[in-house]
Structure 1
Amino acid sequence: MANVMLPSFFTDNMVLQRNTTVKIWGWAITNEEIKLTASWTDETFTTKTNSNGRWAIEVPTTEAGGPYTINIKGYDEVTFNNVMLGEVWLCSGQSNMEWTPSAGIDNAEAEIAAANYPNIRLFTVNKMTSEYPQLDLKGKWQVCTPETMKHFSAVAYFFAQRLKNELKNVPIGVMNSSWGGTAAEVWIPKPYIELSPVLTEAAKKAPQESEWCPTEPGSTYNAMIHPLVGYEIAGVLWYQGESNCGSDVYNKTLGGLVDSWRTLWNDDFPFYYVQIAPYRYEGGDYQGVGVRDAQRKMLDEVSNTDMVVISDVSTIEDIHPQNKKPVGVRLGNIALKKVYGKDMGLVDSPLFESAKADGKSVTVSFKYDDGLYFTNKKSEMFELAGEDGTFYSATAKIKGNKVIVTSPEVKKPVQIRYAWHNTAQADLFNKAKLPASSFKAAIE
């Protein structure tokens, strides 16, 4: 006889997605009967293991609540305690998602001390790689306390805290699966990359070796994401891009990641991400802003996505900005408005929409343009280029919710760009005090 076993993310303290049907699965002896009971329902769920010794049971969940127990009985039995029904978000990326309060964040001592949230649950996936997709990973659910929070993703924690504060009694589960230094390609299934000439070529230009992290396409996906496929989630948070600086198709790479994950989960879940911060990257002036612009472009290419701009809360001297709370809060505000229907007001940064020429003058329109203003009454960050492609500094004025841009050096404007430098920090904001994204575009 074989003991009933489950993947590591089915444990005490876990959060299961509320108001849906969740799948719970594991292993036992071939053809063994498995019975599952959950304390939020009177129903008993029964199945048998297949010829590979695998079993899976679908269980309807109710409104938010807990703590509950789950009992699974076969040859032996397993009981999970302190289980909550609530909202589950998967968080992934590189070092800025991995970054913990203990590694250094603003106001760390006070934030850690205040992190007593019994209804917030934290799950960190241990770092592993694999050449092939795995069935399990290492990690465990923990109740949020000062001791557990200080070793958890700061961005994911502040996101969970924001949701908890607004959704009140709804438990929040955040699962962090990230690895500092990784390019996006290691998080995408390798077969998916190989089916796309664009992704294949981009993968060849991504870092090929590193002393800090894996570089083989699909290697962290196989070990740190694939085992989670099927665990019901509300959405995904992503903070990565620094290691893909220099790519001119990052929007296609990240779009491929989103598509591959959604296909595997069979779910068009929300995918919200952080635009990388301005920083003094070595080797050029524009490879970082190129990725920022690609991240902006992806919003129009992939549905049910949104982006947080953070150039106002970062420092160009540190690739790991320590002001992590606004990052998590802004992600939380987007989710609260777009997933949970809360009236959060304006939650998006100004995003380039169009540029139209009238002689030497160019009128720039933005999405999310309510209350546009410059921090110093005027902007030094707009540039225009004529048919020769040479950009010149331009004068910008706000008229209504439009920006009017002119340059004496450019008589017939053809292209426009804004905050187009690795270290450029926005000086254009909307009334929600959210900074405009960098952009480069043709003029109509």
Structure 2
Amino acid sequence: MKKGILYILLLMSNVMLANITLPSIFSDHMVLQQNEDVKFWGWAGPNETVEIKPSWTNEIYTVKATSDAKWELIVKTPKAGSTYSIIISGYNEIIINDVLIGEVWLCSGQSNMEMSASWGIENGEEAIAEANHPTIRFFKVEKSSADGPQDHIIGKWEICTSETMKDNSAVAYFFATQLQENIKNTPVGLIISAWGGTPAEIWIPEEVFENDKVLTEAANKLQPQDWGPTQPAKAFNAMIYPIAGYNLAGTLWYQGESNVGSLVYDKTLSALITSWRMLWEADFPFYIVQIAPYDDGYKHYGSVIIRDAQRKVANTIENVEIVVVSDISPTDDIHPKNKKSVGQRLANIALKKQYQAIDNLVEHPELERVVYNKENAVIHFKNADGLFIKGTASLFEIAGEDNVFYPAKTKLKDQTILVYSNKVKQPFSVRFAWGNALQSNVFNRADLPASSFTTEK
């Protein structure tokens, strides 16, 4: 009797172990990246044969699970389209329904990325009412942290409706709608992995810090917070690592406020971008929303230093861009409500750089170089067509070798700005909009603002 019960228990155990299981990212309503060799992975019995049969092809993909019960398989996707199903079978069978093929973007950062229409965005009620887009899908990763890299992630794919849109990232939603206005019949999948109040360090793999003293020292200065972790890799382990390998078109990143005070944010952000690309084994586009000017009531340069660090990273790493939002963000609100313009500016960059769907000017005026000519500094910009200064105030400052900055006068000449002060006979450095709450007043013909910057060493 006992032997019989033991046999039944062992048999049941083997059957359970043999069942194919999938990460939650592979589920009904998902979006797969179009025209790519996409990776599927999961678990099965050791040496179990796993078959994948997508409905868009007659081809059957086969692989054997390893001795530790893991498997992965590369499947070729077609061009954008819907609606498909996928059968994954071994000793058991899983059918994934309502699968779309299109463009998949990872949307990460802190509260300004997380912020949904239900938080009270500008024209939010109208946006919610119009948010029935069946070919836009959300996968919202639940907030969690872990000491080591995890296999599983908590989340599910949802069809974009008024009900689902209102609780998902507004920036990501408006990004997707702008994409679809310009690249027709293309589904968009939005993987939203964001956590308000979090510093960049928690989104970076732990091994990055092991051999980098500068990053480790910066991470050690972070103070514990009630609303989320501040230790390196905590969110990365639980909210990024489990989806690494899910094919992406690119990443949107809106974060930085919780790193105000750091003097090495450019190095931190660069490490994040590099580590994610290494993990995915792809140099996907990485588009950054520059944090907005904000008056926190204290006299320091912490916020503008972060903005300048974001500018530097975009200028030095390939396929990284920033969008500047100082003109659409009031300085008394750390959570600016105009999320539609932010999402559209991100989408316009993608439409031009990634998809070649538009060719008009969508980039902000970008500092190219400064030429010092006797008592003048001549500032040259990229994307400077139609360059102009709004109002009469000058936000430029100039300094000599002593690094003492004085307010400067300006002259606009063609697509350059001449900067000078009678207090500086031999200029050595220039800075622009150098203050936490200063909003740019230099624009190009696309009415996009220049970033704050400094050339001081």
Is 1:179 the equivalent of 2:198? no
2: CA distance, partners of 1:123 / 1:362:
49
Which residue in 1 is equivalent to 2:63? Answer: 47
Tell me, in whole angstroms, the C-alpha distance in 2 between the residues paired with 1:128 and 1:442.
40
The aligned residue for residue 35 of structure 2 is: 19
**Other structure's SS at 2:455 match:** strand
Report whether the alignment pairs 1:340 with 2:379: no
TM superposition outliers: structure 1 runs of 4+ over 6 Å: none
How far is 1:198 from its partner? Answer: 2.1
CA apart distance, 1:35: 1.2
Output aligned runs, 1:88-237, within 5 Å: 88-205=104-221, 207-237=222-252
Name 1:299's counterpart in structure 2: 314
The equivalent position to 2:398 in structure 1, one of 384, 391, 400, is: 384
Match of 1:284 in 2: 299
CA distance in 1, matches of 2:397, 2:454: 9
1:435 and 2:446 are equivalent in the alignment: no
Q: CA deviation at 1:281?
A: 2.9
Counterparts of 1:336 and 1:394 in 2: how far apart (Å)?
37
Counterpart selection for 1:395 from 409, 414, 421: 409
- How far did 1:51 drift? 1.1
Map 1:356-395 onto structure 2 (within 5 A): 356-376=371-391, 378-395=392-409
2:345 maps to 1:319: no
CA distance in 2, matches of 1:353, 1:246: 26
State the 1:89 CA deviation.
0.4
Aligned position for 1:417: 431
Matched, 1:404 2:412: no
Q: Following TM superposition, by how much is the alpha carbon of 1:282 offset from its aligned partner in structure 2, in angstroms?
A: 5.0
Q: Is the 8 A contact 1:208 1:216 kept in 2?
A: no
Q: Distance in 1 between matches of 2:26 and 2:359?
A: 34
Cα pair 2:403 2:456 within 8 Å, conserved: no
Note the C-alpha offset of 1:353: 1.5
**Of residues 71, 84, 95 in structure 1, which corresponds to 2:87?**
71
Instruction: Report the secondary structure of 2:193's partner residue.
Output: strand
Are the counterparts in 2 of residues 379 and 428 from structure 1 also a CA contact under 8 Å? no
**Letter of the 1:364 counterpart:** I
* Match runs of 1:240-251 below 5 Å: 240-251=255-266
Query: 2 CA distance for matches of 1:135 and 1:283?
Result: 43
Any conservation in 1 of the 2:110–2:196 contact (CA below 8 Å)?
yes
Return the alpha-carbon distance in structure 1 between the equivalents of residues 357 and 62 of structure 2: 38
Q: Which residue is 1:351 aligned to?
A: 366
Aligned residue identity for 2:351: L
**What's the secondary structure of 1:176's corresponding residue?**
strand
Whether the 8 Å contact between 2:183 and 2:357 is mirrored in structure 1 is: no
Unaligned runs of 5+ in 1: none
Instruction: Please tell me whether the aligned partners of residues 379 and 396 of structure 1 are also in contact (alpha carbons under 8 angstroms).
Output: no
Which of 17, 30, 41 matches 2:46?
A: 30
Equivalent residues, number: 441
Does the 8 A contact of 1:88 with 1:173 survive in 2? Answer: yes
C-alpha separation in 1, matches of 2:332 and 2:263: 24
Helix, strand or coil: the match of 1:41? coil
Structure 2: 5+ residue runs without aligned partners? 1-14
Taking the aligned partners of 2:156 and 2:390, their CA distance within structure 1 comes to: 45
RMSD over aligned Cα, in angstroms? 1.1
Offset, 1:284: 3.0
Distance in structure 2 (CA, Å) of the matches to 1:123 and 1:159? 15
Asked if 2 retains the 8 angstrom alpha-carbon contact of 1:95 and 1:180, the reply is yes
Q: CA deviation at 1:111?
A: 0.5
Q: Distance in 2 between matches of 1:51 and 1:128?
A: 30
How far apart, CA to CA, are the structure 2 residues paired with 1:125 and 1:96? 16
| Counterpart among 262, 266, 276 of residue 261 in structure 1 | 276
Tell me, in whole angstroms, the C-alpha distance in 2 between the residues paired with 1:233 and 1:264.
12
TM-score (norm 1): 0.98
Quote the residue 1:9 is aligned against. Answer: 25
Larger radius of gyration: 2
The residue matched to 2:41 in structure 1 has which SS? strand
TM-score for the superposition, normalised by structure 2: 0.95
Partner SS state of residue 127, structure 1: coil
1:294 maps to amino acid = A
Q: How much does 1:283 deviate?
A: 4.2
Write the distance in 2 (CA, Å) between the matches of 1:236 and 1:216.
23
Please tell me whether the aligned partners of residues 355 and 442 of structure 1 are also in contact (alpha carbons under 8 angstroms): no
1:442: Cα distance to partner? 4.5
